[in-house]
Chains A and B, each alone.
Chain A
Amino acid sequence: MTSAELTARRAAARTLPMQGNATAPKRVIRSLPLMVAGLVTLAGCISVEAPDKPIVIELNINIRQEVIYRLAEDAGNTIEENAEIF
């Protein structure tokens, strides 16, 4: 390290973390809020557990009577037209 004292007053070069008195403790303190935020985020997670019983979806339940009534005549004709498979 060269001294600049003779020509101009300047602050000494900063000591890097790997050199001499590193400023490591300060860095930990600075990252502390980040860590806390991370922990809070983790704690705020909603855990969803899969049900142990199989999910049974009754498809027919959504079919409305009015739809069946609308299709009834057409379906009747279809059965007659395809008598070999009905």
Chain B
Amino acid sequence: MESVVKGSGMNRDLVRKMALAAAGFALAAGGLAGTAYAQRDPAYEAARESGKVGEKMDGYLGIVGASTPELQRMVNDINIKRRAVYAQKAQTANATLEEYALTAGCIAIARTEPGEKYQAPDGSWQTRTSAPPQRDSRCPA
């Protein structure tokens, strides 16, 4: 008798959980369909276009030329956010933060637009052209 009651209780709980999950999925799907992903801050976009900041090999943003407190603050802010994302995703993917960050760096460099700066395997800053960027030999195609 007790087990039956317990079982029905668990079933009810499961149903409630599934309903909640379904609602969550619906919301998420609606969000994805409704609005595109958040875009870059205009100041960040401008700094990328003008080559003041570039994508480093390690998956973080770097200051290419002279640094200003304002630029440094913006880069730090973005890198802290990136690091938090990397840490969370790395844990889910059962990888280390450095592994995940380096992989993201490979892809971020590959996705730079012509005119933007990126760090070559020798550590130098390069300007992206229409040609493929110089990347670490371990980077995926």
Binding site for B on A (CB under 8 A): 59-60, 63-65, 67-72, 74-76, 78-86
A70 to B94 Cα, complex, angstroms: 11
Q: A78 — nearest CB in chain B belongs to which residue? A: B89
Nearest-neighbour CB distance to chain B for A60, whole angstroms, equals 6
The 5 closest A-B pairs by CB, nearest first: A72-B140, A65-B138, A84-B38, A71-B103, A75-B103
Report the minimum CB–CB distance from A67 to chain B (whole Å): 5
Known interface pairs A59-B98, A83-B37, A85-B85; A72-B108 also in contact (CB < 8 Å): no
CB distance from B64 to the nearest CB of A (A): 17
The residues of B that contact A80 with a CB separation of less than 8 Å are 37
Residues of chain A contacted by B57 (CB below 8 angstroms)? 60
Known contacts A63-B98, A68-B138, A71-B99; is-contact A79 B40 (Cβ 8 Å): no
**If the complex has contacts A75-B89, A79-B111, A85-B82, are A68 and B37 also in contact, measured as CB distance less than 8 A?**
no
A85 and B81 in contact (CB under 8 A), knowing A63-B98, A80-B37? yes
How far, in whole Å, are A60 and B99 apart by their CA atoms in the complex?
8
With beta carbons under 8 angstroms apart, the residue of A60, A70, A72 that contacts B98 is: A60
Q: How far is the CB of A14 from chain B (nearest CB, A)?
A: 72
Chain B residues within an 8 Å CB radius of A60 = 57-58, 98, 102
Q: If the complex has contacts A60-B102, A85-B82, are A75 and B40 also in contact, measured as CB distance less than 8 A?
A: no
Complex-state Cα separation, A24 to B111, whole angstroms: 87
Cα(A84)–Cα(B35), bound, Å: 14
Residues of B74-133 whose CB lies within 8 A of A: 78, 81-82, 85-86, 89, 93, 95-96, 98-100, 102-104, 106-108, 111
Q: List 25 A-B contacts (CB under 8 A).
A: A60-B98, A65-B138, A68-B102, A68-B106, A68-B138, A68-B140, A70-B93, A70-B95, A71-B93, A72-B107, A75-B89, A75-B100, A75-B107, A79-B108, A82-B37, A82-B82, A83-B37, A83-B39, A83-B40, A84-B37, A84-B39, A84-B40, A84-B41, A85-B81, A86-B108
